[in-house]
Amino acid sequence: MFNPPLYERLFSRSQFVLALTSPRRKQILLTNLGIPEEKILVIGSNFEENLQKTDVSASEYVSLTAKHKAQAVIDQLKTGRYVVMSSDTVVLCGDEILEKPSTPKVQLEWLKKYRQVGQLSVLTSVHFFLVSQGTVTNSVNDTEVTHLKFNESLDDAFLQSYVSLGEALEAAGGFKYQEKGSLLFKGMEGDYFNVVGLPVAKTLKLMDDLVPV
């Protein structure tokens, strides 16, 4: 079993709580970060994710959303010791902050916008909190940014074919890069894992910062 000293510091006396329900993020924690499944308790946040997008940057917006997700779960943890993690992902295209498309029509509009602009950025904010007896004793957070170049040669029929798959209505930006959504792009600058749900290197560093030696 993969059990580095960092994980001993994190989990020997604390329950690891995910304040999210994304199966992809949980899978990255299990497969890529090697956190044992028995250490993970999923408590989905009831935060509505309806913050105003005006007068805030994309980085501020995604960080605030992740923070509120965690706080909604922390409020339920009155006894015991916990490491609480939350995250949120948005896409920035031009000056527009995009989350999950509400309909296939909106999804297609977004893909056409990506084609017109030519590039977009994926931002994922990750937050960690140490909680003891209902009180936050330490917290760390950071936001990872990955830039994608859209394939401008794709025609409307191709974009419609992708939308018709129905694979990404629940995904930030309306595409799943780890699946057929990769066909929409011709280049990437930054962390692949950030695009598919959780920046691995950033997450590991934050865990280390949360409980320094």
- Looking up residue 167, the CATH number of its domain turns out to be 3.90.950.10
pLDDT at 54 over 90: no
| Angstrom distance (rounded) from CA 105 to CA 209 | 42
Average pLDDT over residues 190-194: 97
Sorted by sequence, the CB contacts under 8 Å of residue 98 that are 6+ apart come out as 90, 91, 92, 110, 172, 173, 174
Phi first, then psi, for residue 105 (nearest 5°) are -60, -45
- Rg, C-alpha atoms of the chain: 18
Count of domains observed in the chain: 1
Task: Just list the catalytic residues.
Answer: 88
Domain that holds residue 35: 5-210
pLDDT in tens, 84-142: 999 999 999 999 999 999 999 999 999 999 999 999 999 999 999 999 999 999 999 99
Average pLDDT over residues 158-171: 96
pLDDT at 13 over 90: no
- The pTM of this model reads 0.95
Residue 177's nearest CA partner among 202, 156, 154, 198 is 198
Instruction: Tell me which of 103 and 46 has the higher pLDDT.
Output: 103
Which amino acid would we find at residue 115?
Answer: R
